[in-house]
Homo-oligomer: A and B are copies of this chain.
Amino acid sequence: MPKRKICVVVTARPSYSRIKTALKAIQKHPDLELQLVVAASALLERYGTAVNYIKADGFHIDAKVFNVLEGENLTAAAKTTGIGILELSSVFENLQPDIVVTVADRFETMATAIAASYMNIPLAHIQGGEVTGNIDEKVRHSITKLADYHLVASKDAEERVLQLGEEQNSVFNTGCPSIDLAKEVQGLNQLSFEPYKTYGGVGAQPDLSQSYWVVMQHPVTNEYQNSRKHVETTLEAIRQQTDVPVLWFWPNVDAGSDGTSSGIRAFREKHDLSHVHFFKNMQGNDFLNLLDQSKGLIGNSSVGIRECAYLGVPVINIGSRQNRRQRGKNVIDVDYSTKSITEAMQQIEKQPRPTSTNIYGNGEAGKKIAEVLTQVELKFHKTIVY
């Protein structure tokens, strides 16, 4: 019997972490053939060139799709999706996959979902059903209604997908593959690499031996004109606390990302940040190792909600981006406020480290996903269950 061809489309650095162990498991599975497409910001230097890490991890890339349209506005996001559909439909026609896999909920993942659905190719969606309260949620649930299989990361998410009228036998709670990666670094008890040497970056190179904070703050699509103001609030909190080193990660692409990026760039020119180093990006495992050894994570990344729950890393979650996502006791929610961020930093310094929780899986998600893709019946026809 010929192997099932599983075509996975990776469109951004964070999505890669959320699918990597599944890619490995698909690659190794005797009944599956991996077709890997790298697209959108995952290809671009400005957003960390995730494609380089993908190659370094030993994956063969079957097609690259450049579809990010430049422009500091929401129209460009819409057009990026339109171009994505044009390009991906050609890619799918060439690769003739048995199943297409789309990951998470970034705006451009919709392009994968539409191209596959409209071409009658069975569509699997990783990480549907989550509740976050922003534009991502529109996209996420909309993709659920196009998808034929749902590989969700939590019990909560499973319930939402079923509520949306999907068939019980098309929903699989596999946990999140990002937790598989967290499991690997857990218990190293030290940094297994030299951050500055390995990843370059710019700014100061403070001594990390006495711990440090990690910052990762993305623009929030709904409020993109404010993204510069938002990041300045965080920068100011960081500037005031000069005693602990800070490792700051640039944001990934989004309408408004230039607001965040240019906010950081402008702040650096004006202010002394001699305890702060800036990274463009980092391989997933090193980043998790870094988080695991840190005092805590500051920002609005979903890594704080998921991986940090599993690792027991304290998180200061800023603003509305992760609004309604299920979270562990490691998270302190704050508003865009220098004062609130500062107080949360002080609170974390005083408290004991939080305990680990299994909300988003037990570290076997990748294998479970590959197994599901091997077993499910191939189909692209469905109707709402009620």
Give A contacts to B, CB under 8 Å: 43-46, 63-79, 81-87, 89-94, 107, 110-111, 114-115, 117-120, 131-135, 137-139, 141-146, 159-160, 163-165, 202, 222, 258, 262, 269, 323-324, 380-384, 386
Pairwise interchain contact B93-A86, C-beta atoms closer than 8 A: no
Closest chain B residue, CB of each to CB of A111? B82
Q: Which of A87, A91, A117, A131 neighbours the largest number of chain B CB atoms within 10 Å of its CB?
A: A117
Q: A386: which B residues are within 8 A, CB to CB?
A: 131, 159-160, 163
Please tell me which one of the listed residues B87, B114, B143 contacts residue A81 in the complex, with CB atoms under 8 A apart: B114
Q: List 6 A-B contacts (CB under 8 A).
A: A45-B258, A68-B71, A78-B118, A78-B119, A160-B384, A160-B386
Please tell me which one of the listed residues B87, B131, B146 contacts residue A384 in the complex, with CB atoms under 8 A apart: B131
Q: How many copies does the complex hold?
A: 4
Q: A66: which B residues are within 8 A, CB to CB?
A: 69-71, 73, 75-76, 79
A272 to chain B, nearest CB (A): 16
Pairwise interchain contact B134-A381, C-beta atoms closer than 8 A: yes
Pairwise interchain contact B72-A69, C-beta atoms closer than 8 A: no
Q: A165: which B residues are within 8 A, CB to CB?
A: 141, 160, 163-164
* A75-B67 Cα distance, complex, nearest whole Å: 11
Q: A84: which B residues are within 8 A, CB to CB?
A: 82
